[in-house]
Structure 1
Amino acid sequence: MAKDAKTPQNPGSPGTTPAGFRLPDPEMVSRTMADVAERGHRIVTEFLNRQTLSAGQDGAPGPDPLHLGSAFLDMTTRLMANPARLVQAQLGFWQDYLTLWQNTARRMWGEDVQPVIAEDSKDRRFKDEAWRDNEVFDFIKQSYLLSARYFTNVVHAADDLEPKTAQKVDFYTRQFVDAMSPSNFLMTNPEVLRKTAETGGENLLRGLQNLLSDLERGKGKLKIRMTDDSKFTIGENIAVSPGKVVYQNDLMQLIQYSPATEQVLKRPLLIVPPWINKFYILDLRPKNSFVRWAVSQGHTVFVISWVNPDEKLAEKSFEDYMLEGPYAALDAIEQATGEKAVNAIGYCLGGTLLSATLARMAAKRENRIKSATFFTTMVDFEEAGELSVFIDEEQLRALEGRMSKRGFLEGREMATTFNMLRANDLIWSFVVQNYLLGQEPFPFDLLYWNDDSTRMPAAMHSFYLRRMYQQNDLVKPGAIELGGTPLDLRKVKLPTYILSTREDHIAPWKSTYRATQIYGGPVRFVLAASGHIAGVANPPESGKYSHWVAESLPPSPDDWFASATELAGSWWPDWHRWVSGLDKAKVPAREPGAGGLPAIEEAPGSYVKVMASD
């Protein structure tokens, strides 16, 4: 036998090829494929059974639910009306592509060449050095970026498209472009190829197992696991600020948090979170809990914890959420503390509800809420950002049809919509990590919260989408009545603090800024860095994310930003100085359950622990 020959390897154990590729363990392959066969058959059978039950009597598919066909047909028709522009875009694309070929050949001969097109420095899909160091992967990356730019330019070249149609075409073109990224495929992702070589393909076997698990979680539909949810338990290591539930009704529990100071501000603080997600985004961990921080600043904090509704609450309306939410909470706070006057915070949809509540109170000359703070809240939906892509008449009818069958909107439908707004970060990055690299998700509190989806009652959600997003009635004086009272936001004259975030994909800051021109009282507008969640949950101790302030409020948000001053760190201290400056009176600390309302159960209560079972 030659000296450098390798002895045969035991077929029952992993080996190494001459090229350095590790062979997978045959036993692992056998176990995996047997498991795939059994689980795959079960998943497909269950999914097909559900599809048959949910189809119409003839089993035929319904109409295009996203109304995409007509949108793209309209775009194509207008493009063909100006073929010269289309030809120009094609010529530009091919010229760039030819230059890329030439540059790649020169680079292979050792020349130093500049890229024809470069990725954005923030684009994490191409963070692996091989995308730049290896000529082949650099060529693949630049080919993709050129194609992506070409598709986008063609879409933008269509003249005179109706704005909402143009927005829809642009959004779904980007969804397609993002999906086609070479980073999403085994053979064109250098990091995945390297991992496959190192593990002998065991990463792909683990990824297949992860894929099957996610299909099982989604009952035949892909429900990507973003974090290791086994590491979190609500009330044990997440949502752990001490307090008690002191009131509850069909729609919410009211939590009063335990004080952390001997003296507290006389005015209690009521927080109205959105019911699209759960309240504990403001109480994730002690280190980033807004609730805990506010308590430490001397606030008596009350938080509404909304129920995760089922079919029994299908007829609950937006008006019910107002009466059984903020109104009921104010009555309960008065019983618990003896105080009628409160400061209030509304977050996102909770802020929209708070603004409607304030308008009704203004009309009825009620003044129990002395100041209002809005976190990333829209009240003028004229330019509602990319969420409006999903709110045309055909899609609303389809959505209402689905809700009518169960009485609520499935939690995953809303979660998927929000994830699509940041598909590369919230969809495709997990496809690569979980299925191609075969990695287990990392435990991350924010992603656990993001995956803890909630349902929407049919009546309330239909009203919200139609009257707010589609018709923008909230800013039209008298267009909406709640509790028999016409609403006019211009009559809201109490001190108002509006917090928006610069990279918000859900409530674009230039849209939220419109509220500064509507309310009749003194308004402070603050813009935080980062997005809808991270820009809000930004404790001072983190040292992350700056914020902008300005004293004047011109009609144009661009003019406001041009005059604004950027300040380092969190906006939380700015808000506390503002709200505590309105009334500095203090009283002895209030213990939950020690006042007029006995404690029902420990915080965070039972409502928040109800999971959406879609």
Structure 2
Amino acid sequence: MSRPARSSGATPGEYMDRSLHAALARWTLGLSPAAVGAAYLDWAVHLAACPGKRFDLLGEAAKQMARFANYSWAASLQSPPPTIVEPLPQDRRFAGAGWQHWPFNILSQGFLLQEQWWQAATSNVRGVSRHHEAMVQFGARQILDTLSPSNFLPTNPELLARTASEGGTNLLHGLQHMAEDWQRQVTHQPPVGADEFKVGVNLATSPGKVVLRNRLIELIQYAPRTEKVRPEPILIVPAWIMKYYILDLSETDSLVRYLTEQGFTVFMISWKNPGPAERDLGMEDYRTLGVMAALDAISAIVPSVKVHALGYCLGGTLLTIAAATMAREGDQRLKSVTLLAAQVDFSEAGELTLFIDESQVAFLEDMMWEQGGLDASQMAGTFRLLRSNDLLWSYIQRNYLLAERPPLNDLMAWNADATRMPYRMHSEYLRHLFLDNDLAEGRYLTGGKPVAISDIRVPIFAVGTEWDHVAPWRSTYKIHLLADCAITYVLTVGGHNAGIVSAIDRPNRSYRIATRDAGGAYLDPDRWLDEATRHEGSWWPALTAWLGAHSGEPVAPPALGAAEAGYPPIGDAPGTYVLET
């Protein structure tokens, strides 16, 4: 992206400051030094003022050293005692059999004891703000994860065994992998294996037509797969932080294909990948040029019927804003709202909030101001930090030390097909939703007027995923506090993406489901978890059953597009916007 001209009423001094911050951001990976420094200063000053806390930490350190000494002595005598501390359930770094033998059992236990001590050292220091405490804890985890014995050849039994059995050739092949990855990164090529997946060839292959194109979206209408369809069409609003075809991956992993096979007419928004020309598009543009323009087209193609609207992630947040605005204005075109891993209350929005405070947002704004938006690589770097064990260190071990190249699947290929976000939109999103929580608290404006989620009267089907690090399920569950309509909530296994892409033939799938009637009493998430009915398999059939219960009797499918109404087919699916890089 090219640097914008001095504009927007910025003074020379403001221009200088923003340019300096943008240059600094290239070296800090977008993290504000002031935000990080303030967090550590808050923690250090309050810890210094708490001699009792420091005394407790010294006592805990002495206790752990004694336990570790006893364990080490017993382990050296070839009679390993019971482990001192167990890793967290999701931590698989020390799961191999080699870690149970000397000296690797000592290394792993010593490391886990350090993690435990630093967790205590960065927690419950009186006076430290919750946000700063979370930032310091996150920083400590990142440093410890870097120093884990699983990351180094001499201290990892699996790596040593592989190196010995292959005479070190794994390390040579790993260097080749590293060089290949570096070359692909600097030349902006997709990762190894992604070339085998092509949009329109083996990804996003559901047949259909583009029936609307404006400066922000293409609207795809998919061809029917049944002789008759439900009269109410479905509009899918994906997030623009990702390409839409996560919901139309391969033939076996396509929610679009499944819905059409169940007798629904499906429309999908495909967002344009914004560049410098789109830097000033805001959240209101995404609502009007996106959701509302799509609804206008659908109302012309399938007239006189209401629409089931489905939003995923950030698309679900936007859909909620649009639905609340429509309710305020008396627009009754919606039949139902479905929210997939979508947040409307951002007060507990997971570890992403580590990067959201006034200092950090201002720093990001200056970086985006110069670039025109947030680059895909910068977003990817943030998500890798949130799951560094899975997305960074395990990748380095497998690819560069073990010299393994696990094949990419369709979801991994989609994940590599990243997008950008416009400067103005992302600034508004961070400030009004994450930082100030305006939507949940009734301050978010559309058309110059505030919207209230409680105005929504159509039923809601909401889905959360158990291991979601982007939209934690307890955060998505807060729709129960904000909407008075009937809500069916589903909690499925999996993460933010894999939990939603839950094809019916995928193994080890299960979900819980319960419905609160309109005006019903609130049930807290812990009690809901105890009382909700658990089912084996994918949650997709539960969605289609719910949609079917809120739909009319099947009718003949509508034509693709409506030329007489100004929406002729203008191209085949998947369209052109999805191909933009």
TM-score using structure 2 length: 0.90
Give the Å deviation of 1:507.
0.9
Give the Å deviation of 1:54.
7.1
Give the Å deviation of 1:541.
2.0
SS at match of 1:592: coil
Percent identity between matched residues is 39
| 2:486 corresponds to which of 515, 522, 538 | 522
1:256 aligns with 2:256: no
| 1:455 corresponds to which of 405, 420, 425 | 420
Q: Deviations over 1:217-245 (max 9, x none)?
A: 3439xx99866212211111112112221
1:200 aligns with 2:167: yes
Distance in 1 between the 2:34 and 2:230 partners? 50
Alignment of 1:162-173 (within 5 A): 162-173=129-140
Distance in 2 between the 1:388 and 1:437 partners? 35
Q: Which stretch has the larger CA shift, 506-515 or 77-86?
A: 77-86
The 8 Å contact of residues 224 and 430 in structure 1, kept in 2 or not, is answered as no
SS at match of 1:474: coil
| 2:394 corresponds to which of 429, 447, 456 | 429
1:243 aligns with 2:208: yes
Which letter does structure 2 place at the counterpart of 1:481?
L
Indicate the residue corresponding to 2:71 in structure 1: 103
Distance of aligned partners of 1:202 and 1:61 in 2 relative to their CA distance in 1, 3 Å threshold: closer
1:592 aligns with 2:575: no
| 2:447 corresponds to which of 451, 459, 483 | 483
Q: Which stretch has the larger CA shift, 321-330 or 199-208?
A: 199-208
Distance in 1 between the 2:260 and 2:479 partners? 28
The 8 Å contact of residues 97 and 143 in structure 1, kept in 2 or not, is answered as no
SS at match of 1:490: helix
Distance in 2 between the 1:456 and 1:594 partners? 32
The 8 Å contact of residues 246 and 600 in structure 1, kept in 2 or not, is answered as yes
| 2:110 corresponds to which of 143, 153, 173 | 143
1:400 aligns with 2:365: yes
Q: Deviations over 1:473-507 (max 9, x none)?
A: 11233x22223343121111111111111221111
| 1:501 corresponds to which of 452, 462, 465 | 465
SS at match of 1:428: helix
Indicate the residue corresponding to 1:17 in structure 2: none
Q: Deviations over 1:90-112 (max 9, x none)?
A: 33234333433333332332324
Distance in 1 between the 2:163 and 2:89 partners? 27
Q: Deviations over 1:20-50 (max 9, x none)?
A: xxxxxxxxxxxxxxxxxxxxxxxxxxxxxxx
Q: Deviations over 1:213-270 (max 9, x none)?
A: 33333439xx998662122111111121122212111111111111110000001100
SS at match of 1:247: strand
Which letter does structure 1 place at the counterpart of 2:93?
R
Q: Which stretch has the larger CA shift, 307-316 or 203-212?
A: 203-212
Indicate the residue corresponding to 1:153 in structure 2: 120
SS at match of 2:277: helix
| 1:605 corresponds to which of 568, 575, 578 | 575
SS at match of 1:254: strand
Q: Deviations over 1:549-604 (max 9, x none)?
A: 22445252222223222121221111111111112222112353476533222211
Distance of aligned partners of 1:55 and 1:279 in 2 relative to their CA distance in 1, 3 Å threshold: closer
Indicate the residue corresponding to 2:500 in structure 1: 536
The 8 Å contact of residues 229 and 554 in structure 2, kept in 1 or not, is answered as yes
Instruction: Kindly report the root-mean-square deviation, in angstroms, between the aligned alpha carbons of the 2 structures.
Output: 2.5
The 8 Å contact of residues 368 and 423 in structure 2, kept in 1 or not, is answered as yes
Distance in 2 between the 1:224 and 1:81 partners? 52
The 8 Å contact of residues 184 and 428 in structure 1, kept in 2 or not, is answered as yes
| 1:308 corresponds to which of 273, 276, 281 | 273
The 8 Å contact of residues 486 and 515 in structure 2, kept in 1 or not, is answered as no
Alignment: residue pair count: 555
Indicate the residue corresponding to 1:557 in structure 2: 525
SS at match of 1:585: coil
Distance of aligned partners of 1:52 and 1:517 in 2 relative to their CA distance in 1, 3 Å threshold: closer
The 8 Å contact of residues 216 and 289 in structure 2, kept in 1 or not, is answered as yes
Distance in 1 between the 2:31 and 2:92 partners? 37
Q: Which stretch has the larger CA shift, 481-490 or 327-336?
A: 481-490
The 8 Å contact of residues 21 and 367 in structure 2, kept in 1 or not, is answered as no
Which letter does structure 2 place at the counterpart of 1:288?
D
Distance in 1 between the 2:460 and 2:149 partners? 47
SS at match of 2:104: helix
Distance of aligned partners of 1:567 and 1:466 in 2 relative to their CA distance in 1, 3 Å threshold: same
The 8 Å contact of residues 330 and 340 in structure 1, kept in 2 or not, is answered as no
| 1:287 corresponds to which of 252, 267, 276 | 252
Q: Deviations over 1:165-200 (max 9, x none)?
A: 112112222222222211112221222222222333
Q: Deviations over 1:129-154 (max 9, x none)?
A: 1011x211111111111111111111
The 8 Å contact of residues 32 and 363 in structure 2, kept in 1 or not, is answered as no
The 8 Å contact of residues 344 and 440 in structure 2, kept in 1 or not, is answered as yes
The 8 Å contact of residues 255 and 304 in structure 1, kept in 2 or not, is answered as yes
| 1:131 corresponds to which of 86, 92, 99 | 99
Q: Deviations over 1:313-342 (max 9, x none)?
A: 001111110111111111111233335521
Indicate the residue corresponding to 1:467 in structure 2: 432
Give the Å deviation of 1:52.
12
The 8 Å contact of residues 214 and 224 in structure 1, kept in 2 or not, is answered as no
The 8 Å contact of residues 333 and 339 in structure 1, kept in 2 or not, is answered as no
1:182 aligns with 2:149: yes
Q: Which stretch has the larger CA shift, 342-351 or 425-434?
A: 425-434
What runs of 5+ residues in structure 2 fail to find an aligned partner?
A: 1-18
Distance in 1 between the 2:234 and 2:222 partners? 10
Indicate the residue corresponding to 1:379 in structure 2: 344
1:574 aligns with 2:542: yes
1:90 aligns with 2:58: yes
Distance in 2 between the 1:324 and 1:60 partners? 35
Distance in 1 between the 2:78 and 2:404 partners? 36
SS at match of 1:580: helix
Distance in 2 between the 1:588 and 1:595 partners? 19
State the structure with more CA Rg.
Answer: 1
SS at match of 1:195: helix
The 8 Å contact of residues 227 and 447 in structure 1, kept in 2 or not, is answered as no
Distance in 2 between the 1:288 and 1:460 partners? 30
Q: Which stretch has the larger CA shift, 151-160 or 336-345?
A: 336-345
